[in-house]
Amino acid sequence: MASKSAYVLDTFALLAYLKDEPGAARIEDILEQAGKEKCHLFVSIINLGEVFYIVERKGGVPEAQDALALIQQLPLEVLPADEQTVSAAAHIKATHRLSYADAFAVVGALDKDAVVLTGDPEFAAVESIVKVEWLAKK
């Protein structure tokens, strides 16, 4: 039997979902599949932290807490940032033009043999090493 598809949400994808922006429909579809255990869905704790500070910066602490509460209800696994993950992300960052937080999404996708769901153009720099599914942009 073939293994289930696996996806990693980056910061762009989570924000698109939370703000109901273009790309949100695809995230909702993946969340529905994950809820039915038809695929695996992951997010790095580093990308989660990035979502929190972006939401707090724009909407304050209550909005960030609401976003956290919503994300905690989603059928996704939060990937930790242990020493090995940090080292791997640092290597990705050193050798590719993308943000440090995005490097954690790449490491998670490589580790889980997953596809990164994003609309962030920085991921074009890593398409040679990780699978990327491009979400609709604003």
Q: Per residue in 23-45, pLDDT tens?
A: 999 999 999 999 999 999 999 99
Which residue range(s) make up the domain with 90? 5-134
State how many domains the chain has: 1
**Buried b / exposed e along 95-129 (16+ C-beta atoms within 10 A):** ebebbebbbbbbbbbbebebbbbbbbeebeebeee
CATH of residue 129's domain is 3.40.50.1010
DSSP annotation of 126: G
Q: Per residue in 86-121, pLDDT tens?
A: 999 999 999 999 999 999 999 999 999 999 999 999
- In the predicted structure, residue 138 carries a pLDDT above the cut 90: no
